[in-house]
Amino acid sequence: MKAYLSRQLQAVLSTIEGVPSDFELQFQAPARPEQGDLASNFAMQLAKKVGSNPRAFAERVLSEVQLDPDRIAGVEIAGPGFINFRFSSVYLRKGLYEILAKGANFGRSAQGAGKKAMVEYVSANPTGPLTVGHGRNAVLGDTMANLLNWAGYDVTREYYFNDAGRQMRVLAQSVRARYLELIWPECPMKKLGTGEDAVWVPVSFPDGGYQGAYIIDIAASLLDEKGDGLIEDRDWLSDEVPEAELAPFKEKAISLIFKDIDQTMRRIGVKMDTFFNEHTLYTDGKVEATLTALRDTGLVFDDDGAVWFKTSTFGKDKETVLVKSSGEPTYRLPDMAYHVEKLKRGYDLCIDLFGADHIDTYPDVLNALNVLGYDAQKIQVVIYQFVTLMRGGEAVKMSTRKANFVTLDDLMDEVGEDVTRYFFLAVSPNTHINFDLDLAKADAEKNPAFYLQYAHARIHQIISKAAEVGLTIQPESDLTALTHDRELALIKTMLQFPDEILATVKSLQPQRLINYLREVAEAFHAFYHDCRIIGEAPDVAQARFNLACAAQHVVRNGLNILGLSTPEKM
């Protein structure tokens, strides 16, 4: 309905001098049902621009707009210039028929038809298990990909990683040191840290090495597979070990860690389409080509042995290093090359999921794309805030054998996959999450994560009981018996579903969909409280049964988009 009203009103507004060509109509539900079904304040927004007062401007537009009476039963101007629209009973019945006819596809649209979209998310390097922070990234990215798919886009889910460079060497050195500990009982050890955080490691353990017990597991696996003959000199310190000797430790670590990451992602419902290795940007010459192209713009210069990007041109306080004096690129340069590669692959929309620590750095990548002649507006960056685990009102650090940080698997072990996904999605990405473990483990009555699933289960049980007395879904049956306020309110709420999906895609705020589905659930509970199905007159019972089936479609489709299960009983 919002799309329809926008088209009809824009057809009039486009002919009026003073109305900006890019003006976007906004609609919202009035505060009270008696005020109508949708309202817009465009007359108040535009009155000054067109040299009129709001009510007079509203009257002018409404005198010219063409509205189908089978869709809109009435239009009123209220207060200083609000315009209230009332839906017709024909529109509501046709809408309900549409829900029943489309079923599992109700809510899908063709807005993105013919367009390619990429969502790049998770993108954790293979140095250890996925953290809780990675979990929020994974769930947000997966849900955004689902939303784009429902909006008609051809969606690719991509995982970007780097299995080369210093951190991979440190990973290999860490596994080698733990392997040495396993094959050499007299291996000299050193103590890292103090107190409860203290860890004993071999003397050959590298500075900044990976301390989690998963490193020991990798070393033990390598010992079982290859035996104890992988080390040439037990006395070598970490930086003395040649690359050739580190190779099997690196390869085994990457293999097992990626296997663990894949299992964790699948557990939380995430499956990637493509994996992109940052290292190929170097071997294929794309990093160097990007740097050369940037030099040609005149916005790159050399100073103190380093290569700099003139980011002051774009309003930053200082210039930004692209290549260190050591010759090692900072991560901005391969990121620039990677995004050039994304756009060259023909994507119309690319969504990046970044943690809050990237908030000051991603604009450099977008600025580079612009100066290189690419359309940086095709890149949309979603910044998400971090997660703090809470218990008893205080921040906690869960004890874990696997790593010296909280893993995503640890969290799912404690509260479950569905609850984990829900809590990550229930608030705006740009809001810090205080993940209340006590609430997340509460029973269904107290736990907000179960509210939507409880609604789905309740609807299913109601439909099952009605089916036992002979009711079956009849999409073409007479719906004129649906006249109760609760019935009409539920239909109106459900018909918002396609618009809510598109609005969520536009805002990239998945919590919008959760909030909407709660409204559907509340409207259904209110309907069923006042409107029985079994025992009513046949036409009323059939119409209400169809209405319950439609509600199940909407709630189930919404849960599927969110990646949450759809239980039939709870």
The CA–CA distances, whole Å, from 191 to 176, 196, 215, 304, 526 equal 17, 12, 17, 38, 63
Q: Where are the beta strands (DSSP E) in 347-439?
A: 349-355, 379-384, 387-391, 394-395, 433-436
* Averaged pLDDT for residues 219-224: 96
* Averaged pLDDT for residues 167-195: 93
Q: What pLDDT score was predicted for residue 570?
A: 81
Give 396's pLDDT tier (boundaries 50, 70, 90).
confident
Global pTM?
A: 0.92
Q: What is the 3-state secondary structure (H, E, C) of 502-532?
A: HHHHHHCCCHHHHHHHHHHHHHHHHHHHHCC
Q: What pLDDT score was predicted for residue 252?
A: 96
| Better-scored residue on pLDDT, 198 or 12 | 12
Cβ–Cβ under 8 Å, residues 560 and 447: no
Give 39's pLDDT tier (boundaries 50, 70, 90).
very high
pLDDT tens profile 496-539 = 999 999 999 999 999 999 999 999 999 999 999 999 999 999 99
Residue 66 has pLDDT above 90, yes or no: yes
Residue 400 has pLDDT above 60, yes or no: no
Q: What pLDDT score was predicted for residue 257?
A: 96
- Mean pLDDT over the full length of the chain: 93
Give 198's pLDDT tier (boundaries 50, 70, 90).
confident
d(CA 145, CA 156): 8
| % of the chain at pLDDT higher than 70 | 99
| % of the chain at pLDDT higher than 90 | 85
Stretch among 8-17, 23-32, 345-354 having the lowest mean pLDDT: 23-32
* Averaged pLDDT for residues 232-255: 91
Q: What pLDDT score was predicted for residue 398?
A: 59
| Better-scored residue on pLDDT, 403 or 396 | 396
Residue with tokens 């009510």: 55
Residue 402 has pLDDT above 80, yes or no: no
Stretch among 194-198, 226-230, 245-249 having the lowest mean pLDDT: 194-198
d(CA 102, CA 95): 11
d(CA 253, CA 222): 9
Q: What is the 3-state secondary structure (H, E, C) of 318-371?
A: CCEEEECCCCCECCHHHHHHHHHHHHHCCCCEEEEEEEHHHCCCHHHHHHHHHH
Q: What pLDDT score was predicted for residue 475?
A: 77
Q: What pLDDT score was predicted for residue 30?
A: 86
* Averaged pLDDT for residues 468-489: 89
| Better-scored residue on pLDDT, 402 or 564 | 564
pLDDT tens profile 329-345 = 998 999 999 999 999 99
Give 399's pLDDT tier (boundaries 50, 70, 90).
low
d(CA 379, CA 117): 10
What value, to the nearest 5°, has the Cα angle with vertex 168 and ends 162 and 174?
150
Say if residue 569 is exposed, middle or buried (CB neighbours under 10 Å; 0-12, 13-18, 19+). Answer: exposed
| Better-scored residue on pLDDT, 145 or 406 | 145
d(CA 545, CA 487): 11
d(CA 383, CA 74): 43
Cβ–Cβ under 8 Å, residues 564 and 513: no
Distance between first and last Cα of the chain = 35
DSSP category for residue 455: H
CA 232 to chain centre: 48
DSSP category for residue 77: E
List Cβ neighbours of 135 (8 Å cut-off, separation of 6 or more).
Answer: 268, 387, 408, 411, 420, 424
pLDDT tens profile 552-562 = 999 999 999 99
DSSP category for residue 260: H
Give 97's pLDDT tier (boundaries 50, 70, 90).
very high
* Averaged pLDDT for residues 211-220: 94
Residue 196 has pLDDT above 60, yes or no: yes
Residue 568 has pLDDT above 90, yes or no: yes
pLDDT tens profile 343-354 = 999 999 999 999
